[in-house]
């Protein structure tokens, strides 16, 4: 398959849109791959990811095999890459949601989009399919019976075996590093990603069912979100507790405080040379061992993580050390769990059989799937990180002897790597051209959704374009993320690796959030996110940490001035501008 597609005045890696399922969205996909795909990353992820997506879609039986037959993997049925950005196929999600008895296409929008104005759903003539609907009914019933997910332990062992099979980065030849840069990773990624998708689809269906039950039986759909709060054992929230402990250690130590006060630049080297910081460095080392695979854009080997660039984690510790002890994530989680248990007891008391029995089963399985969804992410990320360490070492070696630029490796396709390793100078012009195209794509905001064909590049909005800003008294409305009301100065952060403006008492305003943003929720009084829905990372983590949160507040990062005094009502999903 030729991955190159024309775009603007050049070309970039991508897939073909589907004629049958033509509507695509950045919703959900933007949390996993927020940045422009590089060619090597595309080589690793796209076809394997599309195959995993199709396998997961077909596993429920809601979508029939004949509907996807003979469609090449270069067509984005489950997902796709268009003009360099990852998209989810919204049409097929709507198609499947409409087949669920009592469901509708709007259920897919609520799960993946939140607020917004997507293209209208046009039902296909075959959308009402008795086989699909019967399979959907069986699928939902089967989901409510789930009490354990043994595949998670199987996948964790597979990742452990895969990582153990990889060569030592420092003692390996270039050829061995090249093989471990992609090689088996593609097959491992496909299988692990399929598990993640199956668990995610199950979590989404159960959350929709719980919301419908709360709305129809209790008259309040927001009860569903509160019943899923403070679950504990959520992998994406776990680093926050560890970073909080590191932050408390700094706050309690004058020598450590002095080192952090001197700035994050060069901090790790200073700490390792400071005898007074030995205990902190040991604790930080344990943190990296457990969580070093996490970081901004962690699904892409092109990007650094907390292990490959410790400053990304230390800058978060720097924010944590200044935070009031009342923000302790463990205490917040315990509070939420107590409130959740009290609410659950009240809800069950108000319901009669058999609705009470049904809700109990949905809650049990829904909580399991929500926790497991985050665990499957961790499993995938650990496998990717193993390949990242080898790819970065290979890139370092080639750059050192060719005089290139760090990251050159990712501007090549997998099929080009052998020749590049043998003769890197021959690719100097190719890499320069691709870097320029990548920079142009990164300057622009991809459309949040499109139908049929993605709009031309010159119609995309520039990231630095201004938007009409709010005025005092304005109320911006999104979706309820986590209940609670908090007031503070808006701190607009667009890069989780550079949150140094975030001070105690501030409200974090972010474009979208992947797990690397999670620890920044802890020092914030509240969180406001441009995009997000019930299955978005911001929603899940805010519920786990007890941070008032509003998601799908469209263009919040560009409309709310940095430093404005705002009030966030997480239960209502609103942001009120108090003063500019």
120 with 244, same domain: the answer is: no
Give the C-alpha separation, 487 to 327, whole Å: 15
Same domain, 236 and 275: yes
**Per-residue pLDDT, 472:** 87
Write the CA distances from 80 to 32, 54, 66, 73, 580, integer angstroms. Answer: 13, 12, 20, 10, 41
Nearest alpha-carbon partner for 507 in 453, 565, 444: 565
Q: In 3-state terms, what secondary structure has residue 112? A: helix
Shared domain for 187 and 102, answered yes or no, is no
Asked whether residue 402 falls in the same domain as residue 301, the answer is: yes
> Rounded to whole angstroms, what are the CA distances from 470 to 251, 325, 502, 509, 577?
37, 33, 21, 14, 7
pLDDT of residue 114: 63
Same-domain status, 411 and 431: no
Domain membership flag for residue 407: yes
Structure tokens at 446: 């991809």
363 and 246 together in one domain: yes
Q: What is the 3-state secondary structure (H, E, C) of 457-480?
A: HHHCEECCCCCCCCCCCCEEECEE
Mark whether 267 and 227 lie in a shared domain. yes
Would residue 163 count as lying in a domain? no
Residue ranges making up the domain that contains 250: 170-419
Residue 158 forms part of a structural domain:
no
What pLDDT does residue 240 have?
87
Q: What is the CA radius of gyration of the chain?
A: 24
Q: Which two tokens stand for residue 370?
A: 């929500």
396 and 364 co-located in one domain: yes
In a shared domain, residues 394 and 533: no
pLDDT beneath 50, residues of the chain: none
**What b-and-e string marks burial along 169-193, b requiring 16 or more CB atoms within 10 Å of the CB?**
beebeeebbbbbbbbebbebbbbbb
Q: Are the C-beta atoms of 580 and 502 separated by less than 8 Å?
A: no
Evaluate whether residue 154 is within a structural domain.
no
Half-sphere exposure of 82 (CA within 13 A, CB side): 32
Quickly list H helices, 182-305. Answer: 184-218, 223-227, 238-251, 254-261, 267-273, 278-291
The closest of 336, 342, 159 to 234, measured between CA atoms, is 336
The span from the CA of 520 to the CA of 396, in Å, is 31
CATH of the domain at 555: 3.50.30.10
* Domain co-membership, 223 together with 316: yes
Q: Is 277 contained in some domain?
A: yes
Does 197 lie in the same domain as 180? yes
Question: Residue 205 domain-assigned?
Answer: yes
Residue 211 and residue 189 share a domain: yes
Quick check: is 410 in a domain?
Answer: yes
Question: For the chain, how many structural domains are there in total?
Answer: 3
Question: Does 177 reside within a domain?
Answer: yes
> Which residues contact residue 552 at a Cβ distance below 8 angstroms, ignoring those fewer than 6 apart?
113, 114, 115, 116, 478, 479, 529, 530, 531, 532, 533, 573
């Amino acid at each position: 398959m030729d991955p190159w597609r024309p775009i603007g005045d050049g070309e970039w890696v991508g897939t073909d849109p589907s004629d049958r399922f033509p509507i695509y969205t950045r919703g959900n996909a933007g949390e996993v791959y927020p940045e422009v795909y590089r060619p090597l990353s595309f080589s690793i992820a796209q076809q394997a990811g599309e195959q995993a997506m199709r396998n997961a879609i077909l596993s429920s039986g809601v979508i029939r095999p004949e509907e996807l037959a003979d469609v090449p993997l270069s067509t984005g049925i489950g997902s796709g890459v268009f003009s360099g950005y990852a998209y989810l196929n919204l049409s097929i999600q709507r198609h499947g949601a409409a087949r669920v008895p009592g469901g509708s296409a709007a259920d897919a929008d609520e799960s993946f989009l939140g607020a917004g104005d997507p293209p209208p759903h046009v039902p296909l003539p075959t959308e009402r399919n008795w086989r699909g609907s019967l399979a959907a009914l069986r699928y939902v019933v089967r989901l409510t019976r789930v009490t354990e997910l043994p595949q998670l332990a199987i996948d964790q062992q597979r990742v452990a075996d895969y990582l153990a099979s990889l060569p030592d980065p420092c003692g390996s030849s270039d050829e061995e590093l090249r093989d471990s840069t992609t090689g088996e990773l593609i097959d491992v990624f496909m299988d692990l990603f399929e598990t993640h998708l199956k668990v995610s689809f199950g979590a989404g269906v159960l959350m929709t069912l719980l919301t419908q039950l709360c709305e129809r039986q209790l008259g309040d759909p927001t009860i569903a979100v509160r019943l899923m709060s403070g679950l504990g054992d959520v992998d994406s929230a776990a680093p926050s507790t560890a970073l909080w402990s590191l932050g408390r250690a700094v706050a309690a130590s004058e020598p450590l405080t002095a080192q952090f006060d001197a700035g994050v630049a060069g901090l790790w080297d200073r700490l390792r040379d400071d005898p007074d910081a030995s205990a902190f460095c040991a604790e930080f080392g344990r943190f990296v061992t457990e969580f070093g695979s996490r970081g901004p854009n962690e699904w892409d080997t092109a990007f650094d993580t907390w292990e490959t660039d410790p400053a990304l984690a230390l800058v978060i510790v720097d924010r944590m050390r200044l935070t009031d002890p009342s923000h302790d994530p463990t205490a917040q989680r315990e509070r939420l769990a107590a409130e959740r248990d009290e609410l659950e007891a009240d809800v069950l008391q108000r319901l009669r059989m058999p609705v009470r029995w049904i809700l109990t089963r949905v809650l049990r399985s829904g909580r399991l799937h929500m926790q497991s969804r985050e665990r499957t992410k961790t499993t995938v990320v650990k496998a990717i990180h193993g390949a990242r360490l080898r790819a970065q070492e290979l890139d370092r070696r080639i750059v050192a002897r060719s005089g290139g630029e760090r990251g050159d490796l990712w501007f090549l396709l997998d099929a080009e790597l052998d020749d590049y390793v043998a003769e890197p100078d021959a690719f100097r012009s190719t890499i320069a051209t691709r870097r320029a195209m990548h920079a142009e794509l990164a300057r622009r905001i991809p459309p949040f959704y499109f139908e049929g064909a993605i709009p031309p590049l010159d119609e995309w909005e520039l990231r630095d374009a201004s938007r009409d800003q709010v005025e005092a008294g304005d109320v911006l409305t999104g979706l309820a993320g986590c209940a609670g009301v908090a007031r503070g100065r808006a701190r607009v952060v667009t890069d989780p690796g550079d949150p140094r403006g975030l001070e105690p008492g501030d409200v974090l305003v972010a474009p979208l959030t992947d797990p690397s943003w999670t620890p920044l929720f802890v020092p914030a009084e509240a969180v406001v996110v441009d995009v997000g829905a019930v299955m978005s990372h911001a929603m899940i983590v805010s519920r786990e940490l007890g941070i008032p949160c509003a998601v799908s507040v469209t263009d919040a990062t560009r409309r709310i001035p940095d430093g404005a005094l705002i009030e966030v009502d997480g239960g209502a999903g609103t942001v009120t501008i108090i003063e500019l």
